[in-house]
Amino acid sequence: MDRIPLVLRLVIAIFLGFILGSILGPLSREGYVTANVPIQLLTTFNGLFSNFLGFIVPLLILSFVAVGIGELGQGAGKMLGITIFLAYTSTTLAAFLALMVGTGVLPNFLNNGTVDLNTIQNLNEFLPSAYFDIAMPGVFSAMTALILAFVLGVGLASSDQDSALFSSVKTFQNIIEKVITNIIIPLLPFHIAGIFASMAFGGKAIEIMRMMAIVFALIIVMHWTILIVHYIVAGLVKKVNPFTLLKNMIPAYVAAIGTQSSTATMPVTHRQMIKNGLSEDVANFTVPLFATIHMPGSVITVTTCAIAVSTIMGHSLDMTQLIGFILMLGVMMVAAPGVPGGSIMASIGILESMLGFDPIMISLMVTLYLAQDSFGTATNVTSDGALAFMVEKVVKKQKAS
């Protein structure tokens, strides 16, 4: 199973869930009581999985944000500060692009009859009841975890990486990462299969899949828009043809689609940056750092999916909520684990606490996000090649002054 790419596992899960629900739904409505049993088993599993995910999310935020801030603070200098500022600015501006396009385009598409919203809102009413439920309350809320992580991270940044405190928090982070890698990610296809089986059981899956296709196409267009903008700016900074720079980074884009990991793509990213004429010392510094903190592709996807899910579920969001969410999302990307789906896992806490998403909405978010995770990662690493030139330009000015 591990040899099958995550995206393919998710596609298989959606297909099998759709088939199962489509078969059992009509049988249940004709009076076959046993047709409810598989759906109720899946509903029970989904409830337990959602509860466990809710328990893990605050711990994920605490460990990854604290370590991320602590590691960024080690040996901090002007170059590090400049790089972090540019990465956060780039990531946040990409999210604002998604906000403007998403709020301007998606409601028109989703409210004009392209997708029948009446068949997919109030989804909870159509889910068969679970056999049982086990409450798994978090140790603390997501917002408490975030504040504690900032406080702890500042302390770690001022301490030695060999200190007992830093070592303990790093070990805790490794434990949470193993939980994500070995438990949550492998079980996600079953969770998504259960969600789609339940939706098909209630006659809703077709509309959800139609919505997914619209959102997917919009996200890809925005990914390439932000890449072109990045490289136009880089071309002006470098005084070369921006499309030549972008063309040279295509191998990194393709590699990232295959690996679904910015970290695993670093050798290719580094090689293509050097080929574009970036100085080697800047490449050596920016490639590993940007792989962790520069996520324009990921935030475009998260923001667009959040707007889409809110629209189809009739969950109203005001602009103040969305702006606050975006500003915090840029920070949360520093906490994202370097595994497929890591960005959406790191975002769940603020989706719940700042946007008020319920478990069903979170499940749809995860499904939408993971369906194109590789393209978001590809956008992340490709845009790194443009932003690195801006870092180089600023550093040269600093040295000259």
Mean of pLDDT values over 180-192: 84
Cβ atoms of residues 308 and 207 within 8 Å? no
Q: Which domains does the chain have, with CATH numbers?
A: 6-400 (1.10.3860)
pLDDT for residue 5 is more than 80 = no
Mean of pLDDT values over 183-195: 84
Cβ atoms of residues 254 and 378 within 8 Å? yes
Unique residue bearing structure tokens 């989904």: 46
Other residues' Cβ atoms within 10 Å of the Cβ of residue 164:
9
Mean of pLDDT values over 192-215: 78
pLDDT-derived band at 74 (thresholds 50, 70, 90) equals low
Mean of pLDDT values over 284-298: 86
Q: Which helix (H) or strand (E) holds 108?
A: helix 78-111
What pTM value is reported for the model? 0.78
Other residues' Cβ atoms within 10 Å of the Cβ of residue 324:
13
Amino acid 106: pLDDT: 85
Cβ atoms of residues 51 and 136 within 8 Å? yes
Higher pLDDT, 211 or 172: 172
The residues, ordered by sequence, that sit 6+ positions from 386 with a Cβ below 8 Å of its Cβ are 227, 230, 231, 233, 234, 245, 246, 249
Listed range (77-81, 146-150, 236-240) with the worst mean pLDDT: 77-81
Other residues' Cβ atoms within 10 Å of the Cβ of residue 132:
8
Residue 372's nearest CA partner among 238, 198, 213 is: 213
Higher pLDDT, 328 or 364: 328
Average pLDDT, the chain: 83
